[in-house]
Amino acid sequence: MNDNQPQLSIPPEAAWGPTFDVGRATDAYIATIPAADRAKSDAYYEGGYWIGAIASTFIPWNLATLAGVYAGGSIADPSLLGIDIIFPAAMIGLAAGLVTGRRELVAAFAGAAIAVSWALLVSPALAIEPFAAFLVRFRSHLAHVERVMGGLLVLTGIGFLAGFFTQLNSWLIETFPVLQNIG
């Protein structure tokens, strides 16, 4: 843990338990933040944070994606122009900004090594033909699968609205306390 980061103190009203209430916990935590810091945070988010984020990231990203789809489709072989490296380079550029210490650097190199090894050892092309054959055989069952999945989706929605998953969460944490340590 970084010693420069402030430690989070959890007010008693925000502690997990059978009477846990999200609204009460949020209010209790916000009450621990000094008024000047709270006002500064509110001003930051109300003062154009989302406008800046949308204007500087969301809109350009989507416009560039559309341009890439339409313009990229007209390029027969991107490797001839040397532009086949643009997407990997962009992802490396995005990831490089997230590396702030040794732990992140090790995670980045481990992830890259695993991804490259997996891509070299298990080529996706090996699975395409068997998967396509499976889909042809399975096509007659798709309507049934869609109905079952639709029903499960409706049941999941009802479960959310009825609080089933909150109760399930409480039961899991009470039954398996080790789950509290995850995350």
pLDDT in tens, 35-84: 888 888 777 776 666 777 778 888 888 898 888 888 877 888 877 888 87
Question: d(Cα 163, Cα 171) in Å, to the nearest integer?
Answer: 12
Contact between residue 98 and residue 104 where contact means Cβ atoms under 8 Å apart: yes
pLDDT at 128 over 80: no
pLDDT in tens, 129-177: 788 888 888 888 888 888 999 899 999 889 888 888 888 888 888 888 8
Is the pTM above the cut of 0.95? no
- Give me the phi and psi of 99, to 5 degrees please: -85, 105
| Region label for 163, one of left (φ > 0), alpha (ψ between -120 and 50) or beta (otherwise) | left
Contact between residue 7 and residue 22 where contact means Cβ atoms under 8 Å apart: no
For 1, the token pair is 């843990």
